[in-house]
Structure 1
Amino acid sequence: MHWSQYREQGFFLGIRLLFWVHHRIGPYAFKVTVYPVVLFYYLKNRSGRKAVREYLEFFSRRFPNSSTRSNWKTGFQIFLNFANSAREKLEAWFVGIPDNLVNFPDRSELHQLVSSRQGGLIIGSHLGNLEVSRALGSLTEVRVNVLVHTKHAVKFNKMMKMLNPLSQVRLIQVTDISPALIIHLSEAIEDGELIVIVGDRIPINSVGRTCDADFLGRKAPFPQGPYILASLLKCPVYTLFCLSSPDGYDIYMEKLCDRVLMKRGDREGHIHFLVSEFAKRLERYCRMAPLQWYNFYPFWDQQK
């Protein structure tokens, strides 16, 4: 199945339970409760276990000197890490992340972009915790527009405003790049706002709009959408990865290009180069935190 057809309602009900336990009873109760909840989902989600095992196998072959191996214990640890990251996501949305927990060595890159007031497109991934990086809005007081596939974006925005009136984050539900979306996002870029989109999920409706790139020693399909969008918005493009660490969170922001160029006769050449560069960066940061890539779907042999 396409990744968007997988049902995750049961797992997210479990995450809501864990979030309630953490904030109503305490962190210790969360640590006790998280194991049976995640174990239940780990045993139930056969396709998720298979996808994680495949990733770990490719990773261990690509980096044989790494201590990361493909076994049930490592796979279960990834599920546990995801449960913790999901709790952190909710905290990032509704409570906020203290600035002293964020290690952001490339912060000057962000401030330079914001001070230029030209806006920018940021490509993230399912490595680490992208939601924590949404603290960019509080760090710069600039609006951050996050493109998501959820159908409840409007309701979520209303809830965010009710729980956190100062939030600079806005969710925009999107399944394809439409003229109306381009106009809306162009206005955001003109206002100096940031747009965040993930680069490791193939599109829902734009069948065929992918590029194959080397990732962990094998060709894998990556979406062209973020780069087509950047070419239409005529704005600089950055990659962003946020990894959990013992001291908090490490955010890595790097410029990918000043503009995406769609030259006649070679419209996909530049996009293919950028996709390959994104895949290289994703692999590099996966090597730094191999148990933080939360992909529970067939990735290398995705059906479209």
Structure 2
Amino acid sequence: MKWYQQKEKAAGEKRLLFSWHVYKIFGKKALQLIAVVVSLCTFVFSKQLRTYTRKNLSIIFEYTKNKDAKPTIINMYKNVLNYALSLVDKMETCARTFDIKKLNFAEETDKEELLKQMNEKKGIFFICTHIGNIEVLRTFISNPENYIWPMNPHANIFLSKSQCKIFNNFLSKISAKVDSSTYPVEDIDMSTAVEIQEKLEHGDIVFIAGDRVSAGSSVITFKTDFLNRQAEFPSGTFKLAQLTQAPVYFIAALKAKKDTYKIYVKKFEQNNSLTKKQNLSKMQDEYIKFLEEIIKIAPLQFYHFYDMFD
């Protein structure tokens, strides 16, 4: 079963609003406690969740040999709990109370390069992932101390249609300051590419996941070896990145010790001696390798709770 064939359970609009009000009234600790209880109940009563979590961790453990990925009941629950707690951190980013000091780059040179790109108003195309919690990067992007300009770059975020609706309605109801636009991944076409390219030329940034196939693009995919198994990925993400001709970076934010996050970045370098098709394959291959490397670091932050593998 693909992820889009499952009923949305984790982040519906009502659940987001409930989480928001708990966070605003009672604080982070109270919301974390609720996350622990809800994740435990979900884990206990959802056989499907346990089945997919066990299968995915088994594959990850076989590939990484990381004992944290061993598909024990405790590790399976930790995987689900980590996801629930990541939603708490998302509330902090929406409230703009997430401490910038909690964000660290794995390589300081990556941070310096990104800041240089953004201050020179050069657009950046980020291909992100559902491993870790990319939402916390909002704090880095919106930090005014990063820029010589009075305004931070505008973010363009690609989500599924249902997620776009939920996200926009949620932000509207909490009257959040919005410095981003959302696009449904199902509606990407040539006009979208032209629009995004123009925005990138004016210094905007783009975020789109490269590790999950959407309902509307389930036939526009490529299969490849991932964690020594065959898995399906969306071709459209990489084709859009190539069409915009902007700098492309693979990026992930992994939870680390003491409630901090570490940001991992890998720049895609196009080879001018290769054809367009060959460079597209190169981008896809390098992204898969990037995913495999970050999974080794944080196997229990693999937030794909469905049958991803053949």
Using the size of structure 2 for normalisation, the TM-score is: 0.85
Give the aligned partner of residue 51 of structure 1.
52
**C-alpha RMSD over aligned residues:** 2.6
Give the SS at the match of 1:297: coil
After the TM superposition, list the runs of 4 or more consecutive aligned residues in structure 1 that deviate by more than 6 angstroms: 259-262
Give the aligned partner of residue 149 of structure 1.
160
Q: What is the Cα deviation at residue 298 of structure 1?
A: 0.9
Q: What is the Cα deviation at residue 281 of structure 1?
A: 0.9
Pick one of 205, 225, 228 that aligns with 2:216: 205
Q: What is the Cα deviation at residue 99 of structure 1?
A: 1.4
Pick one of 247, 253, 265 that aligns with 1:253: 265
Give the SS at the match of 1:257: coil
Q: What is the Cα deviation at residue 289 of structure 1?
A: 0.9
Identity of aligned residues (%): 27
Equivalence map 1:130-279=2 (5 Å) = 130-139=134-143, 140=146, 141-151=152-162, 153=164, 156-157=167-168, 160=171, 163-165=175-177, 167-247=178-258, 248-258=260-270, 263=275, 267=277, 269-279=278-288
Closer/same/farther in 2, CA of residues 279 and 204 from structure 1, 3 Å limit: same
Closer/same/farther in 2, CA of residues 10 and 191 from structure 1, 3 Å limit: closer
Letter in 1 for 2:264: Y
- Is 1:3 the counterpart of 2:3? The answer is yes
Give the aligned partner of residue 300 of structure 1.
309
Letter in 2 for 1:119: G
Give the aligned partner of residue 79 of structure 2.
78
Q: What is the Cα deviation at residue 157 of structure 1?
A: 4.2
Letter in 2 for 1:123: I
Give the aligned partner of residue 149 of structure 2.
none
> Is the deviation greater in 99-108 or in 290-299?
99-108
Letter in 2 for 1:127: I
- Provide the rounded CA distance (Å) in 1 between the counterparts of 2:298 and 2:269: 25
Cα deviation 1:217-253 (Å, max 9, x = unaligned): 2121122112100121111110111011224111122
Q: Check whether the contact 1:238–1:257 (CA below 8 A) recurs between aligned residues.
A: no
Give the SS at the match of 2:265: strand
Give the aligned partner of residue 128 of structure 2.
124
- Provide the rounded CA distance (Å) in 2 between the counterparts of 1:231 and 1:177: 14
Closer/same/farther in 2, CA of residues 197 and 260 from structure 1, 3 Å limit: farther
Give the SS at the match of 2:307: coil
Using the size of structure 1 for normalisation, the TM-score is: 0.87
Closer/same/farther in 2, CA of residues 181 and 65 from structure 1, 3 Å limit: closer
Cα deviation 1:263-283 (Å, max 9, x = unaligned): 37xx3x332222121111111
Gaps of 5+ in 1: none
- Provide the rounded CA distance (Å) in 2 between the counterparts of 1:94 and 1:54: 36
Aligned residue pairs total 297
Equivalence map 1:89-128=2 (5 Å) = 89-104=90-105, 105=108, 106-128=110-132
